[in-house]
Structure 1
């Protein structure tokens, strides 16, 4: 086996004119939050919608909460964005001087949902017939115009933040389009871990739960810190779980993965060396948590990860062991290229 930096082209920096990010292998990231807020405001503020004698426009982008980032791993662009947007609007019927006002709320603009599925709620001030007509117009016509603007935001986000994330390889001055694949953090596919339900004939009420331990080890072709990041950086966890992630990567911080099927809490974190979590499946007995320890050890030519999970319900051991291999280890290797030994 070659040592780190010897023989493996991913680590040979002298072959690159800038000596960084060889073959686009390393994880690089750009914060797209401030740019996104400006772009969304530009696209939505003062947007005019007129049809069949009804004239409306967005008068104010009242609030934009959320985040966005663009990430590169091994020539793949992963975009993460999640926004909660509130707008004010006004409109009037033809021949009527009185303005009718209301608000629109977009609570779930994210890469998890197609723009056509994004919720947009419309409210109006007043209960008269004219107010209801304009509200219906905003619901039936204006929402489609809003969605078109959101599509433009996503398109321009990918265009703007692709620049500089994918670097040219040796002998190239620009990046060829064929060398770049653009995907969302969910790879347009959601994964739900198979719920584990104990067989009915083994269900015992009022008795102590029978538990066992699981021990696994796996080699990864990466630095120890890179594997640690894969379990603690929300954009990287999003990439390998292929779904929305909630996570506070700090001692005592909570996490929720795989559509809420896996939840838990960080108990100990030693960067590049160890992670200890309280961890449970959604369909385990209520309030029952196991304790998972990841020991991360960087070797000469790979990183060895040893996992120990205690207090696993005895009837769930085999399936849980397989899910660690399938949904964690194999997915991490596939998402970040940590499984390739050259």
Structure 2
């Protein structure tokens, strides 16, 4: 038994007049989830991103799922936050057109485990055309870094403001001074992360000039048609049924043919999402190759028209990186159309086979 005055100071209640959490030894936790949701909505409500002749706005937060807490253990603040965000955005080209185009920014994992500059942000558009693809590239090259700056503001406020008074002062200590010292390191880390994101933004943002709208990625549009000797339903199934896709790609395939469903083909080299499905008529996809720039998707629209003896397929793909354009047409034929015909016999008409 320790002598009087020699006991473990963690248990000496005289250190605090209210005898609460002596020396801040015990774990205390503060729920920051409701505050975080409100703050994230505020930060991205009508958040404007402009450059040269482009005007884009993050209109609102469409999805905000996750949690955040601030903990005190042994006088040290520990922050936990993990969020999945979907932001709605819109934009227009001020010189060429005043038409507004809409899309979404998806942030699958904002957490303390990732540096702010490394947070993944995916850019999509609701309807693909030349104007909207230009806006999409602007949001990819410039808008993502502006969004990261707002995320940095949230993290900084979480660490500097919301965690105030979580560490209790010992006898004779001033509460504000104690918390200021405890927050200094985390606040500095948050500022450094935000500055890093800002620095990356200045490097990534293209220089303004008369011939540029802020997009460095040169994209092209591919249009092609192909005839298949089968019904429109058969061809539609070949492009959307997992077992049939697996058969003509000759590799395991993930195909969730519903709106918003994902597909992953050829060992992960081709991936994307289904944006619109009209059985026997139309398939629209956000489509990319694995080796494309992170977050960049092309838009693929496949339309089927059944005739008396065959089905005509027309494909339009917008947003193809210029360096990939020549290979894309060849690859569609080789890995899709030729393979489908060879696997299912859709290259020979019924009359020819009799």
TM-score by length of 1: 0.51
Q: Distance in 2 between matches of 1:178 and 1:90?
A: 40
Q: Distance in 2 between matches of 1:117 and 1:77?
A: 24
Question: What SS does structure 2 have at the residue aligned with 1:17?
Answer: coil
TM-fit CA distance, 1:176: 3.5
Task: Tell me which residue corresponds to 1:136.
Answer: 137
Task: Tell me which residue corresponds to 1:340.
Answer: none
The C-alpha deviation readout for 1:36-73, integer Å capped at 9, x for no partner, is: 00111111111000001000101121010000000001
TM-fit CA distance, 1:95: 4.3
Q: Distance in 2 between matches of 1:6 and 1:31?
A: 36
Task: Tell me which residue corresponds to 1:27.
Answer: 27
Q: Distance in 1 between matches of 2:182 and 2:31?
A: 20
1:180 equivalenced with 2:157 (yes/no): no
Residues 76 and 182 in structure 1, CA contact (< 8 A), matched pair in contact too:
no
Q: Summarize the alignment of residues 28-107 of structure 1 with structure 2, pairs less than 5 Å apart.
A: 28-92=28-92, 93-107=94-108
1:118 equivalenced with 2:119 (yes/no): yes
**Alpha carbon RMSD of aligned pairs, Å?**
2.3
Q: Kindly tell me the number of residue pairs found equivalent between the two proteins.
A: 185
Q: Summarize the alignment of residues 153-302 of structure 1 with structure 2, pairs less than 5 Å apart.
A: 153-174=154-175, 175-176=177-178, 179-180=181-182
Q: Which structure would you say has the larger Rg? A: 2
TM-score by length of 2: 0.49
Does the C-alpha gap of structure 1 residues 30 and 6 become closer, same or farther in structure 2, counting only changes over 3 Å? farther
Question: What SS does structure 2 have at the residue aligned with 1:180?
Answer: helix
TM-fit CA distance, 1:147: 0.1
Residues 15 and 170 in structure 2, CA contact (< 8 A), matched pair in contact too:
no
Residues 107 and 119 in structure 1, CA contact (< 8 A), matched pair in contact too:
yes
Residues 77 and 183 in structure 1, CA contact (< 8 A), matched pair in contact too:
no
Does the C-alpha gap of structure 1 residues 176 and 14 become closer, same or farther in structure 2, counting only changes over 3 Å? closer
TM-fit CA distance, 1:12: 1.4
Question: What SS does structure 2 have at the residue aligned with 1:139?
Answer: helix
Q: Distance in 1 between matches of 2:90 and 2:180?
A: 46
Task: Tell me which residue corresponds to 1:145.
Answer: 146
Question: What SS does structure 1 have at the residue aligned with 2:70?
Answer: strand
Structure 2 residue ranges without an equivalent (≥5): 191-354
Question: What SS does structure 2 have at the residue aligned with 1:143?
Answer: helix
Question: What SS does structure 2 have at the residue aligned with 1:60?
Answer: strand
Q: Distance in 1 between matches of 2:155 and 2:107?
A: 15
Q: Distance in 2 between matches of 1:181 and 1:149?
A: 20
Q: Distance in 1 between matches of 2:59 and 2:181?
A: 42
The C-alpha deviation readout for 1:114-144, integer Å capped at 9, x for no partner, is: 1100000000122211110000001111101
Does the C-alpha gap of structure 1 residues 15 and 118 become closer, same or farther in structure 2, counting only changes over 3 Å? same
Task: Tell me which residue corresponds to 1:224.
Answer: none
Q: Distance in 1 between matches of 2:44 and 2:110?
A: 14
Q: Distance in 1 between matches of 2:10 and 2:146?
A: 46
Question: What SS does structure 2 have at the residue aligned with 1:79?
Answer: strand
Q: Distance in 2 between matches of 1:6 and 1:64?
A: 51
Task: Tell me which residue corresponds to 1:282.
Answer: none
TM-fit CA distance, 1:183: 6.9
Q: Distance in 2 between matches of 1:148 and 1:129?
A: 28
Whose helix proportion is higher, 1 or 2? 2
Residues 100 and 131 in structure 1, CA contact (< 8 A), matched pair in contact too:
yes
TM-fit CA distance, 1:167: 1.1
